[in-house]
């Protein structure tokens, strides 16, 4: 299954010049724990260049007693971004997340434009649903065998 089929397409984005305080307000307003830092290119294409999490804000700003109204997301040294193409498979995405030790991964099109985001939580939910379906199969098979024996 391609990750483009399961990713969240409603991504909250911010620019490098967005202050940490503005970023925190965006996260609170949209009930999310991360923002994709992006730049808008000609034609309206949005290209992800980083990701910032609520944990990044706590560790790099709050814990260091920095003023969130002064520092911008670009000042935080947004780490190198790992993305996955929307046509790549779920298993391949999980491998990239595991190898890179990341919980959230922006999903991009063939040209690097942002189309969504996939989180560890999304993958766990998908796998739980799949396991539930397999459990139903086992139950149905057992019931069918019991019926045949009668």
Calculate the average pLDDT of the chain. 91
State the Cα–Cα distance between residues 90 and 98, nearest whole angstrom.
12
Check residue 79 and give its pLDDT: 66
Residues whose CB falls within 8 Å of the CB of residue 110, separated by 6 or more in sequence, listed in order = 85, 87
Residue 43, both tokens: 């034609």
Check residue 133 and give its pLDDT: 86
Q: What would the mean pLDDT of 76-82 be, rounded to a whole number?
A: 77
Residue whose token pair is 């995405």: 93
Q: What would the mean pLDDT of 131-137 be, rounded to a whole number?
A: 86
Check residue 76 and give its pLDDT: 83
Check residue 136 and give its pLDDT: 85
- Phi, psi at 19, each rounded to 5°: -70, 160
- The full set of domains in the chain, from first to last, is 3-125 (3.10.580.10)
pTM for the full predicted model:
0.83
- pLDDT exceeds 70 at position 85: yes
Strand partners of residue 140: none
């Amino acid at each position: 299954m391609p990750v483009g089929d399961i990713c969240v397409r409603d991504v909250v984005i911010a620019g490098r010049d967005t202050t940490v305080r503005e970023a925190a307000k965006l996260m609170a307003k949209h009930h999310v724990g991360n923002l994709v830092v992006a730049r808008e290119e000609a034609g309206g294409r949005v290209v992800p260049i980083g990701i910032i999490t609520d944990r990044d804000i706590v560790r790099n700003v709050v814990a260091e007693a920095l003023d969130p109204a002064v520092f911008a997301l670009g000042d935080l040294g947004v780490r190198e971004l790992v993305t996955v193409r929307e046509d790549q498979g779920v298993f391949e995405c999980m491998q990239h997340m595991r190898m890179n030790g990341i919980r959230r991964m922006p999903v991009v099109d063939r040209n690097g434009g942002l189309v969504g985001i996939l989180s560890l939580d999304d993958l766990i939910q998908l796998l739980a649903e799949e396991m539930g379906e397999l459990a139903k199969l086992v139950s149905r098979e057992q019931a069918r065998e019991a019926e045949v024996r009668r």
